[in-house]
A = this chain, B = another copy of it.
Amino acid sequence: MSKFEYALHATDGAARVGTITTPRGEIETPAFMPVGTAATVKAMLPEHVRQTGADIVLGNTYHLMLRPSAERVAALGGLHKFMNWSRPILTDSGGFQVMSLSKLRKLTEVGVSFQSHIDGSKHMLTPERSIEIQCLLGADIQMQLDECPAMPIEHGDARESMLLSARWAERSKAAFEEKANPGQALFGIVQGANYEDLRHESLRRLMEIDFDGFSVGGLAVGEGRAEMFRVLDFTTPHMPIGKPRYLMGVGKPADIVGAVARGIDMFDCVLPTRAGRHGQAWTKIGPINITNARFAEDPEPLDPESACPASRDYSKAYLHHLVRAGEYLGPMLLTWHNLQYYQDLMSGLRAAIGAGALGDFIAEFKANTGEELV
């Protein structure tokens, strides 16, 4: 079985439940993908990532190309074997992080040249090289190289940037067809900032090239939740029904709930892992900071009813102690708990959509967290 397929099972309003089938296993959608930047979901054992319910993890092309390098990962049998994760992996193109992390970057029609933030070494990332790297890593789902401009941006500049991304999409597709193995998938990335006409034009151009899935890029860059949802409102209704839709880099639980309601199928975000390393735990009533003095003698676990050991078997007082004392186990347990929270959120959303009860789910989520979902 070497096909990549998306099957839509049920809808509730714009929200969708489906399954992505890959040669390395199925991905139930809506799906949250834990971020494994440098070939590890930080502070997690891979078997525990899986135990939370994650069907797929994300790897960062930018980090991996610099250390240990795509060629070395390939020589060692590919990213799955390297990080001891046998299920699907999605890699980004590297473009976003080149622009945010590297030094002396220069963007031209050909691609982006830059210096490594680790050792200053010089590199060039083109659409073709990005695909080559993602194939060397062995990513099951690969992303085209794109440009992700900051907002606010003038319409003219936004269109120019979107057209560059569209040309890179075409080059990415050509490189992918040459290099990829059967069953691997390539996603195009819809750009166009917060302009409806540009998002539509971007999507139309990508659909002409034809991709296995479509990402919405250029959001979650500081525009705010209401603006992000406004862009989704005029974008997702035009996206193909039979292909997965991925909102990149999103987000907080409330962002995810609102985006699922608007028809998004896939998410990734460093929030649950990063928050876990900084003493923050996500709970049914929202995030708490475990270092707060009020938890110092709290004998209750984060979630006594959870099947996750990290949520169930350790008191808040103990977690408070661990984080205050700078012990490894604090980030380890809080990260695990947060990833479980996120996966439980996704399975709750899937069940609610399947039962035609997303409205109730959202009402309860709002009541518990006090979050606005617009």
Interface residues of A (CB under 8 A from B): 38-40, 42-45, 47, 67-68, 72, 75-77, 82-84, 277, 296-297, 299, 309, 313-315, 317-318, 321-322, 324-325, 327-329, 331-332
Contacts of A40 in B (CB 8 A): 322, 327-329
In the complex, how many angstroms separate the beta carbon of A130 from the nearest chain B beta carbon? Answer: 21
Q: Contact between A38 and B313 (Cβ–Cβ < 8 Å)?
A: no
Tally of this chain's copies: 2
Contacts of A321 in B (CB 8 A): 38-39, 67-68, 82
Contacts of A313 in B (CB 8 A): 84
CA of A324 to CA of B69, assembled, Å = 13
Q: Contact between A82 and B315 (Cβ–Cβ < 8 Å)?
A: yes
CA of A324 to CA of B40, assembled, Å = 13
Q: Contact between A324 and B72 (Cβ–Cβ < 8 Å)?
A: no
Q: Contact between A45 and B329 (Cβ–Cβ < 8 Å)?
A: yes
In the complex, how many angstroms separate the beta carbon of A108 from the nearest chain B beta carbon? Answer: 30
With A38-B322, A39-B318, A67-B321 given, can you name 7 additional A-B contacts, CB distance below 8 Å?
A45-B329, A67-B324, A67-B325, A68-B321, A72-B296, A77-B299, A82-B318
In the complex, how many angstroms separate the beta carbon of A41 from the nearest chain B beta carbon? Answer: 8
Contacts of A315 in B (CB 8 A): 76, 82
Contacts of A82 in B (CB 8 A): 315, 317-318, 321
Q: Contact between A328 and B325 (Cβ–Cβ < 8 Å)?
A: no
Q: Contact between B43 and A329 (Cβ–Cβ < 8 Å)?
A: yes
Q: Contact between A328 and B42 (Cβ–Cβ < 8 Å)?
A: yes
Q: Which residue of B lies closest to A301 (CB)?
A: B84
CA of A75 to CA of B298, assembled, Å = 10
CA of A318 to CA of B328, assembled, Å = 20
Contacts of A299 in B (CB 8 A): 76-77
Q: Contact between B328 and A331 (Cβ–Cβ < 8 Å)?
A: yes
CA of A40 to CA of B315, assembled, Å = 14
In the complex, how many angstroms separate the beta carbon of A38 from the nearest chain B beta carbon? Answer: 5
In the complex, how many angstroms separate the beta carbon of A298 from the nearest chain B beta carbon? Answer: 9
Contacts of A325 in B (CB 8 A): 38, 67
B83, B296, B322, B328: which contacts A328 (Cβ < 8 A)? B328
14 A–B contacts from the bound complex (CB under 8 Å): A38-B321, A39-B321, A39-B322, A40-B327, A42-B329, A43-B328, A68-B296, A75-B297, A76-B297, A76-B315, A76-B317, A82-B318, A328-B328, A332-B332
Contacts of A44 in B (CB 8 A): 329
CA of A233 to CA of B67, assembled, Å = 51
Contacts of A329 in B (CB 8 A): 40, 42-45
Contacts of A327 in B (CB 8 A): 38, 40, 42
Contacts of A314 in B (CB 8 A): 84
In the complex, how many angstroms separate the beta carbon of A339 from the nearest chain B beta carbon? Answer: 14
Contacts of A322 in B (CB 8 A): 38-40
In the complex, which of the residues A44, A318, A331 has the most CB atoms of chain B within 10 Å of its own CB atom? A318
Contacts of A67 in B (CB 8 A): 321, 324-325
Q: Which 8 A-B pairs have the closest CB atoms?
A: A43-B328, A40-B329, A68-B321, A38-B325, A40-B327, A84-B313, A76-B317, A82-B318
In the complex, how many angstroms separate the beta carbon of A263 from the nearest chain B beta carbon? Answer: 35
